[in-house]
Amino acid sequence: MLCYMSPHQRTRTPKSETWAERISSQIGGNVRRARNRLSISEQQLSERLTRIGHPIARPTINQIENGQRSVALAEVLVLAEALEIPPGELVFNPSLRKVEVLPGNFEMSGDEAVEWLAGYLPIKQPGQSRAQWLENAGENHTDEEATEWTVLGRYERRLYQVIRELEQAQRLLLNARDKTERAHRANNINYITKRAKGMLAYMNRQLRIIHETNPDYTFDDETLALIQRIEDLPNLTVP
């Protein structure tokens, strides 16, 4: 006897994603966010990739953004260059409080994961205290001190990276070919500036916490000069 099955009944239950599939989906989401921030279409991103020397067709970019296709390392590198962000921030969103750096390992924030990819931090193992983790990184602090000192040092390093991004974005703005591209470049500079000033505000909060136990601590002259430079950055408009 034949039984009728509705389309809903015939639909297969999707299998659970593997960690590799989740990473690819995560990269795809980061690609879309970075592309939208630059106000460029999938086709314009494809054209940028062609100029870099590693073409990716528009339909493929759409598949990547929707998590329907895995992403090769070479593609991560050229996508990061085309989207004007560090490769690590294409893999891990630095604004997330927790990311899955390895299968089942949610011990690090997105910002810490980017630092791990850059070689600044060791991986934090499940069950490992922050003090033990920082000791492996060559920093000796108690658990109470660990968060403030590590975050401050991490953001101090990131400031130098952000200023390099800003300098590159300013060069691209100078070489913009038309008003539309100038607007895109200016928007990107404003995004980087906003990000840098947000980092400064966070660093100042961490510094106030550190001053409760170490009131004499301060940044070196080079970092103070960099902080002043970022504080003086204007918001750009394109006529």
Token pair 């691209």: residue = 172
Average pLDDT over residues 129-154: 58
Average pLDDT over residues 149-176: 76
Distance from C-alpha of 230 to C-alpha of 234, rounded to nearest angstrom: 9
Long-range contacts, stretch 214-223, CB < 8 angstroms, 24+ apart: 219/156, 223/156, 223/159
pLDDT interval class at 239 (50, 70, 90): low
Residue 160, CA distances (Å) to 12, 77, 98, 127, 225 in order: 50, 20, 24, 32, 11
**What is the model's pLDDT at position 138?**
56
Residue 144 has pLDDT above 80, yes or no: no
Residue 41 has pLDDT above 90, yes or no: yes
Residue 102 has pLDDT above 90, yes or no: yes
Who wins on pLDDT, 216 or 152? 216
Q: What mean pLDDT, rounded, does the chain reach?
A: 80
Its pTM stands at 0.65
| Highest-confidence segment of 73-82, 198-207, 213-222 | 73-82
Partners of 15 in the β-ladder: none
Distance from C-alpha of 82 to C-alpha of 78, rounded to nearest angstrom: 6
Partners of 102 in the β-ladder: 105
